[in-house]
Structure 1
Amino acid sequence: MAKISIDRENLDRLLADSGNRRGTTYQQTFEHLAQTHLGRPVEEIVALLQGAADTARLGFHYKDLYEQAEAIHAGRRYVLRVTVT
C-alpha cells in the first residue's frame, strides 16, 4: 500500500472522477493496465506506471510503483492512501 500527498488543486491528475481536463488520469491508466496487463512482466508494468506518474507529476517512489505493478500482474486489489493538502 502506498501513501502520497497531493495538493487539492492537482487532485484531477490522480482521480478519474474529478473532472480532469488535462487528459488521462493516473487512476484511469492504472485501471486500464489492470484490465489489459494481467500476467504481464512486472518490470513492463512498472515502466508504464512510471510514465503515467511522471505525466501526472505524482510523487510515487519506485517501491510504490513496483507494488502496484505486482498487484496488476497478479490480479490483486491495490490500496492507495491519498492525503489531500
Structure 2
Amino acid sequence: MNAALLAVLADVRVLLARPGNDFAWSSFLDRDAALTELDALTERVRTSGEVPSALRILFAPTGPIQEVAISSGWGDAFLTLADRFDEVCP
C-alpha cells in the first residue's frame, strides 16, 4: 500500500505545483502552503507507514485538492487520483 499511496501523493503534488493554479476556493493559502502540507503528510506516510486522517480530508469530495483542481482546470485528473487514493486507502 505505501508504494501505491506514495505514487498517488507524488502525482497530486505535481498537479498542485503547477503555475497558475487557483487556490481561492480551497483551504490552502497558496501553492507553497499546499505543497508544505502535502509534503509533511507524505513524510508521515513514508516514515510511519500509516495514513494520516488529514489525507482523507484533502482527497474528499469538495475537499481542498478538488477545489484547486476544479478552479484550475484539472478536475478530471483529480477524480482519477481520488479513485486511486480510494483504492489504496479504503
TM range (shorter): 0.3 to 0.5
Q: Normalized per residue, which structure has more strand?
A: 1
Say which structure, 1 or 2, has more relative contact order (CA 8 Å, 6+ apart): 1
Q: Normalized per residue, which structure has more helix?
A: 2
